[in-house]
Structure 1
Amino acid sequence: MLVILGFLMVAAFMFLILTKRATPVVALILVPVIFGLFAGAGLGIGDMITDGIKSLAPTAALLFFAIIFFGIMIDVGLFDPLVRGILRLVRNDPMKLVVGTAVLAMVVSLDGDGSTTFIIVTSALLPLYLKLGVSPVILTVVAGLANGTMNIIPWGGPTVRAASALGISPSEVFVPMVPSLVAGLVIVLLFSVHLGLMERRRLGSLVFDQEMVSVGGGGSDTARPARRTGGGAGGDADGGAGQFIDGLDPQRDTLRPKLLWFNAALTVALLVVLVMDILPIPVLFMIAASIALTVNFPKVKEQGEAIARHSASIVSVVAMVLAAAVLTGVFSGTGMVEAMAEWLLGVIPSSMGPFLAVITGVLSIPLTFFMTNDAFYFGILPVLTETAAQYGIEPVEMARASITGQPVHLQSPLVPAILLLVTLAGVSLADHHKKVLWRATVVSLAMLAVGVLLGQIPMG
């Protein structure tokens, strides 16, 4: 009976999420409560949920302060010089432009928000793509690959979901996967170079006036490719450098140019200590966010406004984590997950059992594309993990394998950020998928392979 109820609960949860009949927060709370009562939890369901909340409180704190920290870094202009530098370096070279797109997307993706990344990248670079005649599809492919690969950072979402679903620390999942992340980013850069060289060859017969494509330059209409209509955030392709950075308004009153080096040093120090795993990640971000707020916004009113600017992201993400505590608490407290694992153990051939971590990594590629992260990490991963435990595979190893499919996941039409990206760039999702899906699959498999080779993901 518990097996049937468990699978029905997962199915109901996935149905509500995929059909958009309920938000993840609502589904994560109501579905487990209803099925937990059917499973005989009674008033004990309160203790189950409380235990789940206690286990996920550090994760909620991590997300809360990570969003504040990187939001502040964008507000105060930490990434503005990078945008301007890229614009100066690319000049009239399509290859440099494409590689610069990848680098900018990787850096801005540190805030963990795909929508913010795509708004900044398209606002800054799309006008230059249009002036040079470079296909905007290249922009969406490179930005999508970069953001999808960076999506495994602990505050990005998937790693937190995997850790929350399995009751483990996000740092245990992420830190050992840093080599896989680096390998994925290197492959993204190689793809960017290749795509840029292809565009350079395609446009080789076109001669552009150097002054026209210089940052802030004007230009002759006779040297410029035909305008492309249907663009998004880039606006008029004839604009100057000011339009290149609409996503990072150079006149915004939150800029702190005199504190640029301090903010850069603080961010680098945070990332170094994070990788060294000296302190718990939530504690690191609590300290870093407090320092960033105090130094950049010394007035109490300014600090409150800085936090309020990012309150929408904070509320939605933290609410999701706390709601997940209901699902994980009921799953564990009622014994559903153990019962489902035993059933699955009997179904999976014993010869395949020791390879469940790698199998999970491979499955994460199509499954996270066709379903939301919430459905996969809270519905599928716990069952696979409980089964893998019978073969000596640790939950943290399953979590590491499960996040390798993120480069493909981010290209899914179920992800609002990717829909925003193609809309801003004025390209069709189909054109984007034709170029990005196989490349994203290569990145995912490479990340999985590096994890296996370094022993972070067991194989056999």
Structure 2
Amino acid sequence: MLALIGFVLMAVLMVVLIKSWVSPPVAFIGLPLIAAVIAGFGAEEIGGFIGSGLKSMLSTAVLFVFSLSYFTLMDEIGLFDPVINFLTKKAGKSRMMIVAAIILTTFVAHLDGSGATTFLIVAPAFLPIIKRLGFRKEALLAIICGPYAVMNIVPWGGPTMRAATVAEVETGDLYSFIMPGVVVLIILAFVNGFLVNLNEVRHGLKPESEAEIAAEEAASESAKRTWKYWFNLALTLVMLAFLFLDTPLPLYSIFMIAYAIALVVNFPQTKTQNKKIKELGQNAMVMTVTLFSVGIFMGVISGTGMVDAMATAIVNVLPAAMAPHMHWFMALFSVPLMMILGTDAFYYALLPIIIGVVAPFGVSAQAVAATFLLTATFGTPVSPSVAAVYVGLGLADITIGDHIKYSLKFVWPMSIITLIASTLLGVIPF
């Protein structure tokens, strides 16, 4: 019964988000609470679920508020304009050069294995460029999804460590085992970028006019001549360096400190600082509310046991004849499963069950872990259950429904192609 309620909840949630019938906060707050009441939980229990869920989102919400405010401020004062002008002039009319630059930058930005860091570095830098080319904002996140999937499973990344722990193998050994599949992922990251570019061309590009470009370039040249520009550039570079360094400072505190310094330097008067804080805070408010709403959603579905019940039910409903190949057939749906269950539940709840089912047929735990790592990684950057995704959504100013509607048609086929190619390469047993 609990699993059924969970599946209905997730189905309704996906439809509501994609169709935009209500705003995301309303969906993430209202739907799980209704589901919890139907499942028979009382007010005190539901209150506990909400509390634990909100605590899990607190650091991400703080990170989001200050990072978005910081980058919005930097964009206003023209920090990124010279880079934008340089790249667009070098690329000329070659959209694929810009796409390749986005992909390569994402590879580097995701070296620390943090999805939030990746979006924070890539989205503010390239959003103005893709607008100038006439791409939709959703296209930027769809392009990022390819290299994000590759770097999301580096040996020090969360998914790989989770999978290695469950499979009881060394993280380095697991990564070495999946390396041929990782090569496939790298190739598909560029294929994905090419397909997104093609999709935008077919949709119809709406690039900025020559007058708009000329005005932006003039503004950026003016910004370059002030000492504040060079200070802001140095501050941003130092801040980005701290994101990659292994420091005891929490990620959000780095942005808080940089934001405070930037406000004081660029707006010395207290009255102006307060005005700017209000203006910049408005941009972050909607997505911050959404983030806390997601916290309620995650707290309820985890605390009620819906996630575990769904994972078990998925395995139990499959035909017994499929048991020797269950890991392979389940991997066909790893992207939507990752979107429904979230990273922790996917690896800690579903993966052990699958390992137990196929073990009597000679399929090793390492092979099952490899199967899910290589295929489910495409689901992470489009999952409504992954907090880092909302950082990218806020920076790109799009909704989770628009992101899923646009990107799912690219990432799910890429996952299936990876499954087939890795099977042919001998990484994934059938």
TM-score tier (shorter): 0.5 to 0.7
| 1:272 and 2:245 are equivalent in the alignment | no
| 1:31 and 2:31 are equivalent in the alignment | yes
TM-score (norm 1): 0.57
Structure 1 residues 447 and 282, CA, compared in 2 at 3 Å: closer, same or farther? farther
More displaced stretch, 27-36 vs 14-23: 14-23
Alpha-carbon separation, structure 1, partners of 2:150 and 2:277 = 21
- SS for the counterpart of 1:40 is coil
Structure 1 partner of 2:72: 71
Structure 1 residues 437 and 326, CA, compared in 2 at 3 Å: closer, same or farther? closer
For residues 80-99 of structure 1, the aligned pairs below 5 Å read: 80-90=81-91, 94-95=93-94, 98-99=96-97
Alpha-carbon separation, structure 2, partners of 1:280 and 1:448 = 40
Which consecutive residues of structure 2, in runs of 5 or more, have no partner in the other structure?
107-117, 152-158, 160-174, 198-203, 357-364, 384-392, 399-405
Structure 1 residues 275 and 112, CA, compared in 2 at 3 Å: closer, same or farther? closer
Alpha-carbon separation, structure 1, partners of 2:223 and 2:98 = 25
Structure 2 partner of 1:211: none
Aligned residues: 351
Alpha-carbon separation, structure 2, partners of 1:36 and 1:52 = 14
Structure 2 partner of 1:218: none
Which consecutive residues of structure 1, in runs of 5 or more, have no partner in the other structure?
127-135, 155-161, 163-175, 197-229, 369-375, 410-414, 421-431
Quote how far apart the aligned CAs of 1:306 are: 3.4
Alpha-carbon separation, structure 2, partners of 1:299 and 1:153 = 46
Candidates 262, 272, 284, aligned match of 1:302: 272
Structure 2 partner of 1:290: 260
- SS for the counterpart of 2:378 is helix
Quote how far apart the aligned CAs of 1:260 are: 2.9
Structure 1 partner of 2:378: 404
Which letter maps to 1:340? M
| 1:13 and 2:13 are equivalent in the alignment | yes
Contact 1:16–1:22, Cα closer than 8 Å, also in 2: yes
Candidates 335, 339, 344, aligned match of 1:377: 339
Alpha-carbon separation, structure 2, partners of 1:145 and 1:298 = 39
For residues 169-188 of structure 1, the aligned pairs below 5 Å read: none
Contact 1:407–1:444, Cα closer than 8 Å, also in 2: no
Alpha-carbon separation, structure 2, partners of 1:281 and 1:419 = 22
Alpha-carbon separation, structure 1, partners of 2:222 and 2:419 = 41
- SS for the counterpart of 1:25 is helix
Contact 1:184–1:444, Cα closer than 8 Å, also in 2: no
Structure 2 partner of 1:41: 41
Contact 1:9–1:32, Cα closer than 8 Å, also in 2: yes
Structure 1 residues 190 and 402, CA, compared in 2 at 3 Å: closer, same or farther? closer
Structure 1 residues 183 and 287, CA, compared in 2 at 3 Å: closer, same or farther? farther
Q: Which has the higher helix share?
A: 2
Contact 1:102–1:143, Cα closer than 8 Å, also in 2: no
Quote how far apart the aligned CAs of 1:247 are: 5.9
Candidates 94, 100, 103, aligned match of 2:101: 103
Contact 1:106–1:146, Cα closer than 8 Å, also in 2: no
Note the alpha carbon deviations across 1:251-278, whole angstroms, 9 max, x for none: 7998884233333333333333322342
Which letter maps to 2:232? N
- SS for the counterpart of 1:404 is coil
Alpha-carbon separation, structure 1, partners of 2:350 and 2:276 = 45
Structure 1 residues 78 and 27, CA, compared in 2 at 3 Å: closer, same or farther? same
Structure 1 residues 120 and 84, CA, compared in 2 at 3 Å: closer, same or farther? closer
Structure 1 residues 32 and 249, CA, compared in 2 at 3 Å: closer, same or farther? farther
Alpha-carbon separation, structure 2, partners of 1:10 and 1:16 = 10
Which letter maps to 2:50? I
Contact 1:25–1:320, Cα closer than 8 Å, also in 2: yes
Contact 1:65–1:289, Cα closer than 8 Å, also in 2: yes
Quote how far apart the aligned CAs of 1:459 are: 9.7
Note the alpha carbon deviations across 1:122-160, whole angstroms, 9 max, x for none: 33x56xxxxxxxxx8xx9998676444577899xxxxxx
Alpha-carbon separation, structure 1, partners of 2:279 and 2:419 = 35
For residues 354-393 of structure 1, the aligned pairs below 5 Å read: 355=327, 363=333, 367=336, 377=339, 384-385=346-347, 386-390=349-353, 391=355
Structure 1 partner of 2:232: 263
Quote how far apart the aligned CAs of 1:60 are: 0.9
Which letter maps to 1:301? K
Note the alpha carbon deviations across 1:304-332, whole angstroms, 9 max, x for none: 34334443441222111111122112112
Candidates 200, 208, 212, aligned match of 1:234: 208
Note the alpha carbon deviations across 1:80-107, whole angstroms, 9 max, x for none: 111232354456xx55x64256537987
Which letter maps to 1:234? E
